[in-house]
Amino acid sequence: MTQQEKNFEGSLKIRLYNTKSREVELFQPYFAPRVGIYSCGMTVYGYAHVGHIRTYTNSDVLRRLLEYAGYQVTQVMNVTDVGHMTSDEDAGEDKLELGARREGKTPWEIAEFYEDHFFSTIAECNITRPEVISRATEHIGEQIGLVKRLEDNGYTYKTDVGVIFDTSKFGRYAEFARLDLEGQEAGARVAVDDQRRNPQDFALWITNQPNHIMQWNSPWGRGFPGWHIECSAMAMRYLGDQVDIHTGGIDHIPVHHTNEIAQSECATGRQYVKYWFHSAFLNVDGRKMSKSLNNLYTLDDVRARGYSPLALRYLFLNGFYRRDMNFTWEALESAQRGLARLWGACAELPAPTGVVIPGFIEKFESAISNDLNTMNALAVVSGVLETKGPPESKASTIYKMDEVFGLDLANSRTRLSDFWRLRGLRPEHKMQAESMADKREKARKNKNFSEADRLRDRINNMGFQVEDTPQGPKIVPMFDFDFAAMRKPVCGHCGVDEKTGC
């Protein structure tokens, strides 16, 4: 450990809920200022949906906060492109092979297509691309090596299925998920084959599926890895035996992460992960948004309905990452309006000077470092906008906070016009409304108030509202207006379609 590492103290004390202890703890990485994060990635056999986006937004806010606090983050995310069965236990079919059959493609083609879709989806949502992206199929050697280690340490046995991990040999197996192996929970896990010693034992290497397309040679014969082993193998390959933070959705606690802990700690004899960070679900009508329930929305659906990808981010930031959230289009509409207003306010600000307004950053930090209280942290932004401070400093203060929010507030003008374009608003719509607003101004100056009112109604008919500000009248598009329906040029007098207008 170098002196710098020993002396490092994050400028900000971060408190995080740790699933392992079920408590909010002070965050102290193994080797500050470095922080290693392993994030369970997608199983790339279907489109990434809004539920995935929630989980990856939450872990992105965490990594942004750590960087904000001065840590050097290395984030590793796996791509599951083999071995994940249709149940999280070993039953069913490999999801990649299922996808391949469904679409008449090879599993490799399926993986490539949905992986690209996933990474473009998260990029559009301003989710930081992890430093390392690792595919399971490209780390078969590491996985075989780890299974070998477990075998050498006496934690495995063989069945007709392949190499199985004996969970009864890991005394703490039930601890992490607080499983009641004797009682109800045990019944919930049905042994996949009658040769298993314990219902929760899981496959490390599978050799009994000759029709499985993806197969590799191994000391146990040709086969493919079980799902859980990939995460331990790749986490250790890139971050070492001990990982600071491991992220994923709460569904991973009882099986996938429980198994990761068992196999990693039995291989190394050391604690695998210091802090476990789990995101709650995004539900639809009370049920998890998921491919198997056929209730999912993708980013394309979101855009097609006139919402910016970042409206999702704003929606998620307005909830607590550990609480389930119910997805509705009404909630997204209200998040989008809130974000558009915020972009509108930021678009008016001058360039930042770097000088922040005292008080606000402290409030922001105290909220965000308290187990990511993003709602309270966002409320500080409104406080800054309402204060009387110099606008340049308002900009500096808000953009500093946005390093963690990731709402791209420094590019508000562009973001706002992109959003209105999604809603069908074209530049000529605005120009026409503006020219009408000029006429209205003239009428007002000439004290022709009835004409001014008539012109205001016409502006409203064109989907804009006139706001009288100290700098003069401003026209603002209306959220409820269907600009897309106004395809044809509008009448310069009444704002209605040229042919049917006055």
* Binding site residues, ligand AMP, CB under 6 A: 40, 42-43, 51-52, 54-55, 248-249, 251-252, 279, 281-282, 288-290
What angle (nearest 5°) sits at the alpha carbon of residue 52, between those of residues 112 and 48?
35
In angstroms, rounded to a whole number, what is the distance separating the alpha carbons of residues 325 and 329? 13
Question: Least CB distance from residue 478 to Zn ion, whole Å?
Answer: 45
**Residue 231 touches which of ligand AMP, Zn ion, none (CB < 5 to 8 A by kind)?**
Zn ion
- Reported in sequence order, the residue ranges of 200-253 that DSSP labels E, i.e. its strands, are 202-206, 224-225, 243-249
Both tokens assigned to 53: 């986006």
* 111 versus 398: smaller Cβ distance to Zn ion: 111
Reduced DSSP (H G I as helix, E B as strand, rest coil) percent helix, strand, coil of the chain, to 5: 45, 15, 40
* Residue 367, contacted partner among Zn ion, ligand AMP, none, CB below 5-8 A by kind: none
DSSP 466-496: EEEETTEEEEEE-TT--GGG--SPBPTTTSS
User: Residue 118: which of 180, 178, 45 has the closest Cα?
Assistant: 45
Q: Are 92 and 35 in contact (CB under 8 A)?
A: no
333 binds, among ligand AMP, Zn ion, none (CB under 5 to 8 A by kind): none
398 binds Zn ion (CB under 5 A): no
Stretch in the footprint of Zn ion (CB under 5 A) among 35-43, 299-307, 419-427, 465-473: 35-43
Shortest CB 341 distance to ligand AMP, Å: 27
Q: Tokens representing 435?
A: 């020219």
> C-beta of 474: minimal distance to ligand AMP in Å?
40
Instruction: Return the bridge partners of 224, or none.
Output: 206
289, 281 contact by CB (below 8 A): yes
Our CB check for Zn ion shows the closer of 231 and 273 to be 231
d(C-alpha 176, C-alpha 448), whole Å:
75
Say how many residues make up the chain: 502
What backbone torsions phi and psi does residue 219 show, to the nearest 5 degrees? -60, -15
Q: Which is nearer to Zn ion, 231 or 243 (CB)?
A: 231
Q: How far is the CB of 288 from ligand AMP (least distance, A)?
A: 5
Nearer to ligand AMP, 59 or 397 (CB): 59
Does 381 contact Zn ion by CB under 5 A? no
- Kindly state the smallest distance separating residue 231's Cβ from Zn ion, in Å: 3
Omega of the bond leading into 210 within 30 degrees of 0 (cis): no
Strand extents, DSSP E, 153-201: 156-158, 162-165
Q: Which does 51 bind (CB under 5 to 8 A by kind): Zn ion, ligand AMP, none?
A: ligand AMP
**39 vs 397, which CB is nearer to ligand AMP?**
39
| Contacting residue, 40, 243, 384, 494, with Zn ion by CB under 5 A | 40
What does DSSP assign to residue 285?
A: T
380 binds Zn ion (CB under 5 A): no
Q: Residue 334 Cβ, how far from Zn ion at the closest point, in Å?
A: 34
Q: What residue 83 binds from Zn ion, ligand AMP, none (CB within 5 to 8 A, per partner kind)?
A: none
Per CB under 5 A, contacts with Zn ion among 218-247 are 231
CA atoms within 13 A on the CB side of 374: 25
Of 251 and 451, which CB lies nearer to Zn ion in the complex structure? Answer: 251
Nearer to Zn ion, 40 or 486 (CB): 40
Of 332-361, which residues contact Zn ion (CB under 5 A)? Answer: none
Looking up tokens 């049920």 gives: 287
Kindly state the smallest distance separating residue 256's Cβ from ligand AMP, in Å. 8
Q: Which residues bind Zn ion (CB under 5 A)?
A: 40, 231
